[in-house]
Amino acid sequence: MAGRKTAKTGNQGQKILKSDAEWRKQLSPSQFRVLREKGTELPFSGQYDSHFGQGVYSCAACGNPLFSSEAKYDSHCGWPAFWAALDEKKVELHEDKSLGMARTEVVCAKCGGHLGHVFGDGPKPTGKRFCINSESLKFTRKRA
């Protein structure tokens, strides 16, 4: 089927495989552009850039819990930034040499959706900066 990607089989449990047409039905055009076409939202435009509630940020496409507000920090880069994923099995890291740069792409381990990139200039304790598009995330507030 056109547009369908083959997922690697790993120990991540059940992968979600959908065609572009199926994703298009489920996602907004801007979410589709980021998650399925590896787009990047404009800096300082995303709803979660300067959002600091207590809770969990999940994948906007499949609901996989990805990042905790406890690891979110203000990187001033214009996108939501986290120094760690909720669990390193929740995300996959891929080498990305597009745009003439060597970067590390971060994708959702469950649906393969593009989330953003990870850089090595983050704060302690990990020194990592997961620079993630708001369009890829859905925030759920922690119940008190």
Chain residues binding Zn ion by CB under 5 A are 59, 61-62, 64, 108, 110-111, 113
CB 32, CB 45: distance < 8 Å:
no
Instruction: State which residue, 18 or 128, has the beta carbon closest to Zn ion.
Output: 18
Q: Are 54 and 142 in contact (CB under 8 A)?
A: yes
Minimal distance in Å, beta carbon 69 to Zn ion? 19
CA angle 59, 107, 22 (to 5 degrees): 60
Q: Is 62 a catalytic residue?
A: no
Query: What gap in Å lies between CA 104 and CA 101, rounded to an integer?
Result: 10
Residue closer to Zn ion by CB (options 34, 59) is 59
CB of 118 to Zn ion, least distance (A): 16
- Which residue in the list 59, 62, 111, 131 is annotated as catalytic? 131
Q: Which is nearer to Zn ion, 17 or 21 (CB)?
A: 17
Report whether the peptide linkage leading into residue 80 is cis, meaning its omega lies within 30 degrees of zero.
Answer: no
What is the Cα–Cα distance from 66 to 88, expressed in whole angstroms?
9
- Taking the complex as a whole, how short is the minimal distance between the CB of residue 76 and Zn ion, in angstroms? 27
Nearer to Zn ion, 74 or 87 (CB): 87
Token couple for 83: 């120094």
Amino acid (1-letter code) at residue 127: G
What is the maximum alpha-carbon separation in the chain? 46
CB of 112 to Zn ion, least distance (A): 7
Active site positions, annotated = 131
